Structure 1
Amino acid sequence: MTAPLDIDQLHTFLAIVDTGSFTKAADRVFKTQSAVSMQMRRLEERIGKQLFAKDGRGNRLTADGEKLLNYARRIIRLNNEAIAAFDDNRLEGTLRIGTPDDYADRYMPEIIGRFAKTHPNVELYIVCENSSSLAERMARGELDIALVTHNPRARISDVVRTEPLCWVASANHPLREDAPVPLAVGRRDCLWRQLACSALDADGREYQVLFTSWSSTVVAAAVLAGMAVSVLPESALRPGMKVLTSGDGFPPLPPVQIGLMKRPGLSPSLMNAITDHIAACLDNISPAVVPDDLDSEPKGIGRSLKIRAGQMATSW
């Protein structure tokens, strides 16, 4: 019979991937670096494939390592769910999470679903606001975890996802080529707005900010109505939107990063539980599918949610 994969080795494998180094992974899994290296050699022997390759002073995943990554996350997740199902000392309490509404629409359903399944006695209190407001709430101790746009010039967060930033317009309403680019963007401190304006300035392209809102729902409405162009991360694209490229006269944009902020003093067990779920969910998220013949449906804005054991109530 084929020998099963070792759960501890898979834990270490994921720690290396998530931290980006064998040294940091050793600290996370409470092992020496030599023990971590030995575990990876044994895992490679078990798989029969090389999982890491040298990349300068660091290591990167090989194609086979990338292939194992998804299986490893699924195996660890199922293992944790099985243990939680028979745990008489389950986590309890309230976890206060902040996220912008564009991240909430795309990421939170899976995060909430997985967390509620493994930790049904933990109440999730979710606040949807812009990244700047969430950072202020974190500073006041009003939130435990915040998923924000990573912006090292404005706040400190741990990067958990990187993806392309795209110019978007309505798929059903052509833009006027002889007029300044009409923009629908966030407020002046919004990083995406700053990147969009800087790119247009550098390209010598005229533009006019017509709509300003911290709500992605409002911005998306202006785009889908054919009234404006905006910028969105790839995973946040909506049906009815068209991605604009250099062929349409729009300059390339740098990628954007999603960061995780954590409150000092948060219970380590709660923090590890939710951050592990967030990391696994974001790693499995694929780019949004945006068929041109569908319209986007309106979403609520400025909402706070309380969730326990899979049930959701909304307060405005």
Structure 2
Amino acid sequence: MSAPLDIDQLHTFIAIADTGSFTRAADRIFKTQSAVSMQMRRLEERIGKQLFTKDGRGNRLTAEGEKLLNYARRIIRLNNEAIAAFDDNRLEGTLRIGTPDDYADRYMPEIIGRFAKTHPNVELYIVCEPSTSLTEKMQKGELDIALVTHNPRERQSDVVRTEPLCWVASANHPLRDNAPVPLAVGRRDCCWRQLACSALDADGRDYQILFTSWSSTVVTAAVLAGMAVSVLPESALRPGMKVLTSADGFPPLPPVQIGLMKRPGLSVSLMSAITDHIAACLDNISIASASSVPDDLDGDVRSFAPRPPRHRPGHLMPGW
């Protein structure tokens, strides 16, 4: 029977993958660099594959290393869940979490599911509102943790995920030629709306805001119905959507970042428990998740020819 993988070696392996350096990993896990190197030699001997290759002054995962990383994270999470399940000093109380509804849709199911398994005596109180509203609630002490769109000009948060922001349209409904770009976006203070409009303005593209809503469900519905173009993070792509690129006449967009806000005075043990789950779950949602969008999304979506005016007010959908 094959010997099991060593949990401590996997912890070290993940630390190197996250930091890109044996030295920085050693600092993170409080080991000497020689101990880290020895652990990785033993892990490579156990796997029978080379896991790292030199990349300048750092270390980069090989293809086999990337393959092992996914398993390593899952093994560590399951190990932590098993330990927590038999912990007589498990955490109790209420944890108030805030998140925009689009983040809730993509990230919260796994976060809530894993946290509930490891901390069944902690009640989770979830608030779904825009990042601006969540920031106000955090300042008033009404929330303990908030996942928000990172925007250092408006709020302080720790970045926990970065991913591309994409122009999206329906793959099954061609958009009209020679017409302004019809947009479905958030309200005026929405960061993604501002990025989209600024990019189109800088590119000299005409656009018309047809749908305004804080609801990601509404925006997604408008896109899938072929009624509008929107901007979404790559992990939010859905079957039936097509990503629009410069080849379609759409300017590149900066990446978006998800930030984590924490209430001062929150129990250290409770904060560590939830933030560890959040970081692990967000990391588990890789950019490759967009591959769930069918291949036929590479079909034709025609570009728009410029026509004034650059911006005209459209519909404000009632009730949002």
Q: Secondary structure at the match of 1:200?
A: helix
What is the match of residue 114 of structure 1? 114
TM-score, reference length from structure 2: 0.80
Residue in structure 2 matching 1:289, options 272, 280, 292: 292
**Distance between the aligned counterparts of 1:265 and 1:28, measured in 2?**
24
- Residues 198 and 59 (structure 1), Cα distance of their counterparts in 2 relative to 1, 3 Å cut: farther
What is the match of residue 137 of structure 1? 137
Shift of 1:25: 4.2
Q: Are positions 1:61 and 2:61 aligned together?
A: yes
Q: Secondary structure at the match of 1:287?
A: helix
What is the match of residue 81 of structure 1? 81
**Distance between the aligned counterparts of 2:264 and 2:69, measured in 1?**
30
Greater mean deviation of Cα atoms: 239-248 or 143-152: 239-248
**Distance between the aligned counterparts of 2:263 and 2:42, measured in 1?**
37
Q: 2:92·2:121 contact (CA, 8 Å) conserved in 1?
A: yes
Q: Given residue 43 of structure 1, which amino acid in structure 2 is its aligned partner? A: L
What is the match of residue 51 of structure 1? 51
**Distance between the aligned counterparts of 2:56 and 2:276, measured in 1?**
28
Q: Secondary structure at the match of 1:169?
A: strand
Q: 1:236·1:288 contact (CA, 8 Å) conserved in 2?
A: no
Determine which structure has more spread, i.e. the larger CA radius of gyration: 2
4+ runs deviating over 6 angstroms:
none
Q: 2:16·2:22 contact (CA, 8 Å) conserved in 1?
A: yes
1:27-38 mapped onto 2 (5 Å cutoff): 27-38=27-38
What is the match of residue 305 of structure 1? none
Q: 1:235·1:288 contact (CA, 8 Å) conserved in 2?
A: no
Amino-acid identity (%): 90
What is the match of residue 146 of structure 1? 146
Q: Are positions 1:251 and 2:254 aligned together?
A: no
**Distance between the aligned counterparts of 1:34 and 1:136, measured in 2?**
48
**Distance between the aligned counterparts of 1:146 and 1:91, measured in 2?**
20
1:1-316 mapped onto 2 (5 Å cutoff): 1-19=1-19, 21-22=21-22, 25-285=25-285, 286-287=289-290, 289-290=292-293
Q: Secondary structure at the match of 2:166?
A: strand
Shift of 1:127: 1.0
- Residues 126 and 27 (structure 1), Cα distance of their counterparts in 2 relative to 1, 3 Å cut: farther
Task: Give per-residue Cα distances to partners, 1:136-162, cap 9 Å, x unaligned.
Answer: 322332222222222233333333222
Q: How many residues align?
A: 295
Shift of 1:27: 5.0
What is the match of residue 308 of structure 1? none
Greater mean deviation of Cα atoms: 222-231 or 20-29: 20-29
Q: 1:235·1:287 contact (CA, 8 Å) conserved in 2?
A: yes
Shift of 1:24: 5.2
Q: Secondary structure at the match of 1:160?
A: strand
- Residues 57 and 115 (structure 1), Cα distance of their counterparts in 2 relative to 1, 3 Å cut: same
Greater mean deviation of Cα atoms: 29-38 or 114-123: 29-38
Task: Give per-residue Cα distances to partners, 1:220-242, cap 9 Å, x unaligned.
Answer: 23323433211011221234433
**Distance between the aligned counterparts of 2:106 and 2:71, measured in 1?**
22
Q: 2:85·2:117 contact (CA, 8 Å) conserved in 1?
A: no
Shift of 1:75: 1.0
**Distance between the aligned counterparts of 1:141 and 1:19, measured in 2?**
33
Q: Secondary structure at the match of 1:94?
A: strand
Q: Secondary structure at the match of 2:266?
A: coil
Q: 1:150·1:259 contact (CA, 8 Å) conserved in 2?
A: yes
Q: CA RMSD in A?
A: 2.7
**Distance between the aligned counterparts of 2:153 and 2:53, measured in 1?**
33
Q: 1:238·1:288 contact (CA, 8 Å) conserved in 2?
A: no
**Distance between the aligned counterparts of 1:21 and 1:145, measured in 2?**
30
Q: Given residue 246 of structure 1, which amino acid in structure 2 is its aligned partner? A: S
- Residues 57 and 260 (structure 1), Cα distance of their counterparts in 2 relative to 1, 3 Å cut: farther
Greater mean deviation of Cα atoms: 147-156 or 95-104: 147-156
- Residues 45 and 159 (structure 1), Cα distance of their counterparts in 2 relative to 1, 3 Å cut: farther
**Distance between the aligned counterparts of 1:178 and 1:254, measured in 2?**
26
Q: 1:130·1:214 contact (CA, 8 Å) conserved in 2?
A: yes
Unaligned runs of 5+ in 2: 298-318
Q: Given residue 52 of structure 1, which amino acid in structure 2 is its aligned partner? A: F
Q: 2:169·2:243 contact (CA, 8 Å) conserved in 1?
A: yes
**Distance between the aligned counterparts of 1:59 and 1:160, measured in 2?**
22
- Residues 33 and 186 (structure 1), Cα distance of their counterparts in 2 relative to 1, 3 Å cut: farther
Unaligned runs of 5+ in 1: 294-300, 303-316
What is the match of residue 313 of structure 1? none
**Distance between the aligned counterparts of 1:204 and 1:101, measured in 2?**
32
